[in-house]
Amino acid sequence: MARIGFIGLGMMGLPMARNLLRRGNSLLACDSSAAARDALLEGAPAGAVAFAATPAELAAGVELVVLMLPDSKIVSAVMEGEGGLLGALRPGHLVIDMGSSLPGETRRLAPLVAAKGANLADAPVSGGVAKARTGTLAIMFGGDDAAWARAEPVLGCVGEALIRCGSIGAGHAMKALNNFVYGAGLLAAAEAFRMGEKLGLDLNILAEVMNASSGRNVATESKAQAMIQGTYPVGFQIGLMRKDLATAAAIAAETGEPARALTTALELYNQAVDALGPRVDTTEIHRYLGMKK
């Protein structure tokens, strides 16, 4: 059992925090939403949850802090803003950024944290809300051996596949590149289904062919029916896919890689988000392609 600081009780953070509680940990949490704070208290063991008014106040009460925040801009505000973590860090603190941040920003923050005698690690997740609820997320860890030794027991409460990716920022980079490949595969499958429909093909058989052949990918295996039937149940929001593709584009710019497939995918997802809004499921890229003339 440990007392863990947790900042960010959103769609992913709330079920992750609940799994930490189920595994016998106590939490000192921080979130601007009263509804999110109330939701964490529901069903929590008596005395297992307390709240801090600011990140700095939270840092005063714990030695390990998990961040589950939407993007690097918000991470920077939580770290460096008024009442932020950075000013309150002390030797022995470990901060784990489990959101999908920009790798370059993560690397920028690391020496600022180290100057306080603390350590920063990145551990973004994959698997969506469903796996966040069951504690079976895939987690990509970037950080040194000391950070890993302290983080592993905590990560094991919320994830099933824990993968060490390298030094600080490597986890965020690999998460973004993985999601680029997923997003491009989904886009290719959506276009293939659109063409198959216009040819009068049986789309269920087309999906069967793909999944028995070299076209198989996560999208054809788990998202085909959502596209074929036009149901598009909300899981991984298309706005989050766009954000991950933008992160991958930042990596392309940093490395000087032209990344032409990425550029095309990001352009189409940007258009789809503009047309459909950011909160619909990522499979609605298929619906957008049917709208696009």
Strand-pair partners of 4? 27
List CB contacts of 114: < 8 A, sequence separation 6 or more: 120
- What sections of 42-162 are H helices per DSSP? 55-61, 72-80, 103-114, 128-134, 145-155
Between CA 193 and CA 61 the distance in angstroms is 53
Has 131 been annotated as catalytic? Answer: no
Q: Which residue is listed with tokens 């990560």? A: 155
Between CA 289 and CA 109 the distance in angstroms is 39
Least Cα distance to 30 among 47, 12, 7 occurs for 7
Between CA 96 and CA 165 the distance in angstroms is 14
Catalytic hit among 73, 116, 131, 175: 175
Give the 3-state secondary structure of residue 33: coil
Active site residues: 175
